Amino acid sequence: MIEEPGTLACTCAHVADERKAEQIVVLQVGQLAFFTDYFVIATGRNERQIRAIADEIRARVKAAGRHIVGIEGTAESGWLLIDLGEAVVHLFSPRARELYDLELLWGQAPETQWQQVEPLAARADPGRAL
């Protein structure tokens, strides 16, 4: 099965949506940045929600057979970043989202309609009976 570009980023957006994140945006930054192709930006209402969104994204990425390059920041700081290589997920508190305003900073990047992209499925474990 051939995967469409941006599927990993859109999967993260779907996960954030499932965990009730707000203001979810997926930006195609590949033409503007050398370090990634997509930014996923979402807002959690509080530290607990930000942590829950991050935990579920990490679990779903691993279940899909993908690797996490790194994690920076904390829910307590208001900005948690998950680097997936081809996509970087930014989870913000409302205050931090307004302060850093990544959409303005990366305003030339086109937005992806993540709702229209099918999320990645968990990879089947060959040693496990279905």
Tokens of 15: 């996960």
Strand partners, 28: 38
Ramachandran bin of 6, using left for φ above 0, alpha for ψ from -120 to 50, beta for the remaining angles: left
What is the fold of 7-113? Beta Polymerase; domain 2 (3.30.460)
Using DSSP's 3-state secondary structure scheme, residue 81 falls into strand
* pLDDT tens for each residue of 25-62: 999 999 999 999 999 999 999 999 999 999 999 999 99
CA separation for the pair 106, 32 (Å, rounded)? 8
Confidence of residue 121 (pLDDT cuts 50, 70, 90): confident
To the nearest 10°, the Cα dihedral for 42, 46, 47, 48?
Answer: -100
Cβ-proximal residues to 91 (8 Å cutoff; 6+ apart), any chain: 16, 21, 42, 43, 44, 50, 53, 54, 75, 79, 80, 81, 82
Nearest to 54 by CA among 27, 38, 77, 86: 77
Is 81's pLDDT higher than 50? Answer: yes
Confidence of residue 95 (pLDDT cuts 50, 70, 90): very high
- What was the pLDDT predicted at 118? 86
Query: What's the whole-number mean pLDDT along residues 6-31?
Result: 96
- What's the pTM value of the predicted model, to 2 decimals? 0.89
CB atoms within 10 A of CB 54: 23
- What was the pLDDT predicted at 130? 34
